[in-house]
Amino acid sequence: MRNRPKGCGLYVHVPFCRTRCIYCDFYSTTGIALVGAWIEALRQEMLLYEADFGRFDSLYIGGGTPTVLGDGMVARLMEALHARFRFAPDCEVTIEANPDDVDQARLEAMKGLGINRVSFGVQSFDDRDLAFLGRRHTAGGARKALEAAIGAGFSNFGIDLMYGLPAQTCERWLTTLEGALFFRPTHLSCYQLTVEGRTPLSHMIGRNEASLPGEEEGRAFFLLTSRFLEDRGFVHYEVSNFAASRRFFCRHNGKYWSHVPYLGLGPAAHSFDGLQRWWNHRSLKRYVEALARGRKPVAGSELLSEEQLELERLSLGLRTRRGIRLPDLPETALPLVHELRKARLVRVRGNRLSLSRRGYLVADSLPVLLSRPSSPRTRALSMP
């Protein structure tokens, strides 16, 4: 990403949903009554970190479903954040929105609070898909919400979509894509439906109640999506992400992908300070309890070794159009690079290597192959 952010990223996890979708494994609870306790704890957590991070130039309010919070609650949250932290004047401020929760008035109110980017969790413009996924809204509801965003004056909004759903054909998926493009979004996230462990979807798959496309179909969906959107001027800048132009690359997510420090507040949120990563309790109860006792609500942490950093750099970098630095690769990786170029899976521009459209498809196996061989451990030799 050319306009790589200098500042840090701030994430706030809103762990509430009115209903749970069958595929989602992000942490959330339907116990909306706990919102008060959550925001109180969140304020405490802000106090613990106020001095640790510099200026933020991206704020991302995600979840969960942030829009289950009422206007007043969002205002309290924004006030609290501004009271504790410093933000750049051009800070990207995103909120994730469920189409069902917002109308033009609400969106205008959010805009008034400094929110300048909305990410709509639409998933599909086909009601059959939405019913399968357990979404609350309908395609009609999604259209209304998007119109409201335009009406409220949002010039920068994104739409999240999903493909590879049971019974979804390429034609049906194209209809959804076209449905989204109609609103001229600046950003599209197109995720292939992935089965996560211990979700209702995984149980359905286990019981053979649903089946998902195989490798070849998944590949066809992926290539179709990429071609279709790039033909219409979008930049396929990350495996699952498209932007209308470079200007609209998601600045906040870019930080996750390039090891820029970020602070995550709220239950289950992850943080990274450049060397160390830590994550909060994946339980609102434990999160609140820890903070009530004045403790950091941290469930675990890790200090990244050089080898781990390399692996992450490769895996995150290869998922993006920006790619990785060629000179960083070990010599042992060069025959593979050569073969990958021959197969047109990678391209090399200057000293950077990035994956082609077909290369994105095999991005998961490449980081390990391109990484430096593990350094030999020092071993204690002993005999029985």
Nearer to other proteins, 116 or 315 (CB): 315
Residue 380 contacts other proteins per CB under 8 A? yes
| Residue 270: CB minimum distance to other proteins, A | 4
Site string for other proteins, 234-253 (x = CB under 8 A): -----xx------------x
Among 29, 104, 175, 194, which residue interacts with other proteins (rule: CB under 8 A)?
194
In this chain, which stretch among 49-57, 115-123, 203-211, 311-319 interacts with other proteins, using CB under 8 A?
Answer: 311-319
Residue 137 contacts other proteins per CB under 8 A? no
Residue 280 contacts other proteins per CB under 8 A? no
CA distances from 242 to 83, 139, 161, 248, 262 (A): 34, 21, 11, 9, 22
Nearer to other proteins, 107 or 162 (CB): 162
Site string for other proteins, 339-358 (x = CB under 8 A): xx-xx-x------------x
Residue 219 contacts other proteins per CB under 8 A? yes
Among 3, 245, 332, 351, which residue interacts with other proteins (rule: CB under 8 A)?
332
Residue 222 contacts other proteins per CB under 8 A? yes
Among 40, 311, 352, 356, which residue interacts with other proteins (rule: CB under 8 A)?
311
For other proteins, the binding residues in 57-116 under the rule CB under 8 A are 62
Residue 283 contacts other proteins per CB under 8 A? no
Residue 281 contacts other proteins per CB under 8 A? no
Residue 256 contacts other proteins per CB under 8 A? yes
Among 277, 281, 321, 322, which residue interacts with other proteins (rule: CB under 8 A)?
277
Task: Pick the closest to residue 356 from 331, 321, 313 (CA basis).
Answer: 321
For other proteins, the binding residues in 116-135 under the rule CB under 8 A are none
Site residues, other proteins (CB under 8 A): 11, 26, 62, 191-194, 215-216, 218-219, 222, 239-240, 253, 256-257, 262, 264, 269-272, 277, 279, 302, 308, 311-312, 315-316, 319, 332, 335-336, 338-340, 342-343, 345, 358-369, 371, 373-377, 379-384
